[in-house]
Structure 1
Amino acid sequence: MPSGENSATFKGGTVIDKDGYVRVRGAGKFQLEHRLAAERVLGRPLKRGEVVHHISGVRTDNRPENLLICTDAYHRLIHTRQDALTATGNANARRCVYCRRYDEPAAMTMNTQGKHYHKACAAAYQRSRKEKSK
């Protein structure tokens, strides 16, 4: 398999990695272009825990106006709400940890870890575990 300049993905020191992100050769290694772009705009290296989110969802669109620097927790929230919006048209919908279906939060219960579930799904899960242990 060709590598380096002979690789089909080689673009003058940039490659698209397996996850769809642009990587740029710099400092002897390939670095994520969106992180480098964010650092350029900030004028400093990203801090531990800072994540760069692609607003458009296009991982190769590394224009500064398409990048949002946020915490990992906020980044997960963005994707949770985007997934719910895409699946249901309602960004506030939550996914049941048992049946994996989306529903309104009011129709669900939340556990101590912040996970949502339908009471009927939890009961069915507990019954199935009981039956398996017999």
Structure 2
Amino acid sequence: MDLRKALFAKVAALHEIDSKHFPIVSIDDYFVGNDDEESIAPNQWGDGRPPVQEIYARLKEIEARPDVHGVFVGIHQDWPDSDRFEQWVPAENIHIYSSAPQEVADQWIEGLLSDGIGPGWPYGKHAAAPEPLAGYHVYTIYWD
């Protein structure tokens, strides 16, 4: 099974668990094999947003920090269309589980051409999303 179809199947299974909240997947599940530049922040592509694989590399650096225990991709609500059009599943945002203060998290988005990073789940927490460790909270990087 190709990686795009495997991701789609995973997102579909997560949707079955909780159809009221956007599914989340690991950054590896989302970015490995992804060369679709319009799969994340498409409105900023060509306007200064780094390439998809550069975003992935930056997120891997964040994930490796001692004050981070998880980085996940929030899936966009239009994900079902990706199978029909044979595109990569679209992303809505990035969730980071961290104990870092906001002023540290603010530095993580430099150069990503995002609209910001803030605390919490903007569309609610998916039922299958892991719980943050004690002392950790969720930050969300968002575009548009």
Q: What is the TM-score of this pair, normalised by structure 2?
A: 0.26
Structure with greater contact order relative to length (CA < 8 Å, sep ≥ 6): 2
- Which structure would you say has the larger Rg? 1
Larger fraction in helix: 1
